[in-house]
Structure 1
Amino acid sequence: MHTSLPPRVVADALWLLTARSRGGQHWLHNATCDIQTVEIAGQSQPVSLLDGSNWQESYVASPRSTWLRYPRQEMLRGASPAKAQAIKLLSCPILGPLSTLFKASKLDQAAIIANHLVSTNLYADWSAGEISKTTDKLLSTYPQRPLMMRNICPQVNPELAASLLATGWQLLPSRMIYLCDPQQTSVWKHNHVKQDARLLDHPEVEVLTHEQLQMQDIAALQQLYRQLFIDKHSYLNPDFTAAFFELCLETQFLEMHALRWRGRLVGVLGIYVHHENGWLTTPLIGYDTSLPKELGLYRRLMALLLKTARDKKLKLHYSSGASQFKRARGGIPQLEYTAIQNRHLSTTAVQSTALFARLLRTFAPAILKKADGI
């Protein structure tokens, strides 16, 4: 694709134009949302809209999957049949009322702003004035829907978080994430980081750059991602389509890297770079889970991620999960929030959201810390 525009602008525009005409399912099998747009600070941003989510709806499109379905799946994952049955029985008295409360809040019908349907959206630090103007515009456009922004972390976007609070948005705890500054020499003193760096340099497994990957690799790359995030972890994770991988290879919507071993692809890493706010993350990572652990494929991929952040002089957003692994590699735990604006809705919706928010603020931080062993 030949153009004078910056690659990031081209990639985002193509993602957005296609999603507007074909819906979120063009990029994710499990995101049945419509995509519309809103302008923030002179740039078009996606707004994802769900009218009703099913049990397979990815958490990147469905708040119900984020707060209710995914935690339940995590509790059931790896449990014995007897333990799974016990969890189901014990969770019903809790999840039943929460589900009713959630429905009354209308949160699953939220207009989710600047949502690119990835695990971690990276934002510019929009000012309070920009947030206020955008909020007014969206309240007029979506009078029956709450407004929402995922992935709000004061340590990543301090001005944005402050702007949202200053303009009447609420911040609800959503997950524990891990942040790292690879420019700090202390990060590279961790024994695990040193060991992973040596492993990455070992020629047994070859690292392929974005330019070395071709369209005929898409099926293999997609399968590697699905092996880890869909088959091993959860069908509520983003299930990227072949079209999404093609977009990435064509436009660098994600900067793609791969691992090759004995002539075949065995690992994939998709890197999302936001130079404006100085952060980098990976919404897409996967490897051949059938191969021996001794190959250290996940360690190699994460070492490549850390090295890339250092080389680009950016901070690294490790996202969530694999908490012990990430802490051993310089990851600092931080709470991430979802921002909600619902002052325009009915009293029932506002009060239901307020109660749900109170429950989250009371219990979620401790639960998230305990789950991550903090």
Structure 2
Amino acid sequence: MLQELVSDLTIYTQQDYHHFVGRYADKIHSMEAHLLQEEPNTYVRNVNTHMMILGGADDAWPISLNNKEYTNALICSPYTTYVKYPLDIISKFDQWWFRSWLLLSVKTLDLLCKVTKINCVVQVNNNLNSLLKHPTSFSRLIPRLTSLLTQRYPQHAVLFFRVNKMLDESLLHVLQKQGYIVFPDRAAHLFLPGQPYMNRSYTKRDIALLNKTHYTIVPHDDLREKDVDRICELYRKLFIEKYSKFSPDYTRAFFHQAILHRWHHYTAWRHPNGQIDAFVSWFYRDQVMICGPLGYDTQKDKKAGLYRMSIAWCLKYAHEQQLIFNLGAGSDQFKLNRGSVKVLEYTAVYCRHLPLYRHIPWWTLRWAFALCARKLFEANTM
């Protein structure tokens, strides 16, 4: 049922699809519209959540609603983010003492998170991507938005992920002022206009490789229907099989719609045998270029430089267009060598309307990250 509780903010559910596309005609082919028609696991295989859309005066944003759902992807579950994912990547940390400390901490946090219902959250602006950019309009909407969501979902905490200290500076300040519990939980890599990252020796070598490759660079409009299966396969090879099973597991249906309706801009690398061996994508929010799904054949010789060429292509485009480029977390040394700036990203949680025991996991996480954030930000796996 259509819920219009606070001023010009409206919550649209699956039953409100026709109201939604009537009001936001330009979004008829958007991911938001598709999430009002299909279950989210149609597009992200390992997601278990309920999706709705929060509509404002001139834009709309997806929100996810969870209760328990402990078997879930990172993008919808604080429990997966802070318990299951660290256990999945614990072997990638070098120091034995840090692995031991992390294992003990996470095992303790496991029970605490379940008892205090950490997954009972409504997450704002959850686009089911690992990277996002919060709109500048959120800074003035936070009081009304918080009121709306706490009225509509009085048993749920209100959650914002990936609040970037540089890109979302005003929003971060407002969230703190409005009583949200705020803590940094990772660092993202930004490439900034005016910074000489194209003059870095690593970037120059990557561009040289890009210019002499025997691969054909395939622009978005030249991708074929049969390429969709390969793109899906390459993404899974990298993010699900190599990195973590808790990364968003995008389906063929996701990539089909994303390419068809340009949810992201795609570029691919086709081998002389006709097969796609790498691809990269990006999307825009508020004049910021944000890396979307990417992938490459992890069985190929590293000398082929598939990942290097993919990132070089993005850097070249961001430089030409004078855009900030958000390449996300992880692979720290690779990105720093090419001139990235490391910027903290924060989680913000509003739970003042909830019983005191529901505050405990968020206080604990704020305390824990204050103690160990430096080590976590130094690790390439974050």
User: Is the TM value for this pair above 0.5?
Assistant: yes
Residue 281 (structure 1) aligned to one of 281, 287, 290: 290
SS in 1 for 2:148: helix
Residue number in structure 2 paired with 1:50: 66
Contact 1:50 1:61 in 2 (8 A): yes
Alpha-carbon deviation of 1:91? Answer: 5.5
Residue number in structure 1 paired with 2:323: 314
SS in 2 for 1:161: helix
Greater displacement, 127-136 / 323-332: 127-136
Residue number in structure 2 paired with 1:67: 82
Residue number in structure 2 paired with 1:332: 341
Distance 1:288 1:127 in 2: 39
Greater displacement, 145-154 / 348-357: 348-357
Residue 98 (structure 1) aligned to one of 109, 116, 124: 109
Residue number in structure 2 paired with 1:16: 32
SS in 2 for 1:22: coil
SS in 2 for 1:47: strand
Cα 1:258–1:128 change in 2 (3 A) is closer
Distance 2:44 2:138 in 1: 31
Alpha-carbon deviation of 1:312? Answer: 2.8
Residue deviations 1:191-212, cap 9 Å, x none? 0011111111114112111001
Residue number in structure 2 paired with 1:240: 250
Residue deviations 1:88-122, cap 9 Å, x none? x8765422321122224433121000101111111
Residue number in structure 2 paired with 1:25: 41
Cα 1:229–1:350 change in 2 (3 A) is same
**Aligned letter for 2:35?**
A
Q: TM-score under structure 2 normalisation? A: 0.87
* Number of aligned positions between the proteins: 357
Distance 2:28 2:371 in 1: 37
Q: Does 1:147 align with 2:158?
A: yes
Residue number in structure 2 paired with 1:251: 261
Residue deviations 1:201-244, cap 9 Å, x none? 11411211100112221101101111111111111111101111
Cα 1:132–1:90 change in 2 (3 A) is closer
Distance 1:92 1:258 in 2: 39
Greater displacement, 90-99 / 33-42: 90-99
SS in 2 for 1:284: coil
Distance 1:308 1:9 in 2: 30
Residue number in structure 1 paired with 2:180: 169
Distance 1:220 1:212 in 2: 15
Contact 1:11 1:252 in 2 (8 A): no
Identity, % of aligned positions: 23
Contact 1:59 1:70 in 2 (8 A): yes
Residue deviations 1:314-347, cap 9 Å, x none? 1011101110000011111111111111111011
Contact 2:44 2:250 in 1 (8 A): yes
Q: Does 1:301 align with 2:331?
A: no
Gaps of 5+ in 2: 1-20
Residue 376 (structure 2) aligned to one of 361, 368, 374: 368
Distance 1:339 1:230 in 2: 27
Cα 1:127–1:225 change in 2 (3 A) is closer
